[in-house]
Amino acid sequence: MPQIPEKIHELTVGQLSARSGAAVSALHFYEAKGLISSRRTTGNQRRYGRDTLRRVAFVRAAQRVGIPLATIRQALAQLPEERTPTNEDWARLSAAWRTELDERIKQLGRLRDHLTDCIGCGCLSLETCVLSNPDDAFGERMAGSRLLPVRNPAPGADQG
Ligand code: FES
């Protein structure tokens, strides 16, 4: 991993990419999403503050454990003056995200168990396949599609 001399306080996008391990396109994406920011030189080149390295490390670590970018951005925005996360910030946020991760792992475990039933089946039935219709709130009470509103029949209309 290339080292950056201490006296350099700003990084080009290439230096930030080389040092952080994030692709240049990922850094542009993070910037477009408001996760990092840069200033422009007179030649319209991006320059990142040195602390952006830590910010990128924070984002990538959070992404690695499956935290959505929107959640990461929210967390960063809540830090005072949008400062770069400290060790304590990471400890606090990762503890809060652990509960979310535990829940997601439980959900994945349930999906994996249902996948076992689907292997070799292929029906994708909305009535019987839990994977093709996992949120079927009506499935326990009635069979078939009942999501369309029931219209009042016209007076005298045959209801057969
Ligand atoms: S595909 Fe048949 S039960 Fe899921």
Look at residues 77, 84, 86 and name the one whose alpha carbon lies nearest to residue 49: 84
**Looking at residue 58, what is its pLDDT?**
92
Pocket test for ligand 1, best of 125, 126, 133, 136 (most atoms within 8 A of CB): 125
- In this prediction, residue 78 has a pLDDT band, given cuts at 50, 70 and 90, of confident
Instruction: Look up residue 124 and give its DSSP letter.
Output: -
Which atom of ligand 1 has the smallest separation from the CA of 121? 2
- Residue 111 Cβ inside 6 Å of ligand 1? The answer reads no
pLDDT band at 112 (very low <50, low <70, confident <90, very high): confident
pLDDT for 147: 46
pLDDT tens readout for residues 2-52: 666 667 789 999 999 999 999 999 999 999 999 999 999 999 999 999 999
Q: Which of 116, 132, 133, 136 has most ligand 1 atoms within 8 Å of its beta carbon, as the pocket-test mutant?
A: 132
The average confidence (pLDDT) of the chain is 81
Which domains are assigned to the chain? 10-96 (1.10.1660.10), 100-141 (no CATH)
Element (H, E) at 49: strand 46-49
pLDDT of residue 146: 45
Ligand 1 atom nearest 117 alpha carbon: 3
CA distance from start to end of the chain: 76
- Side chain identity at residue 126, one-letter code: L
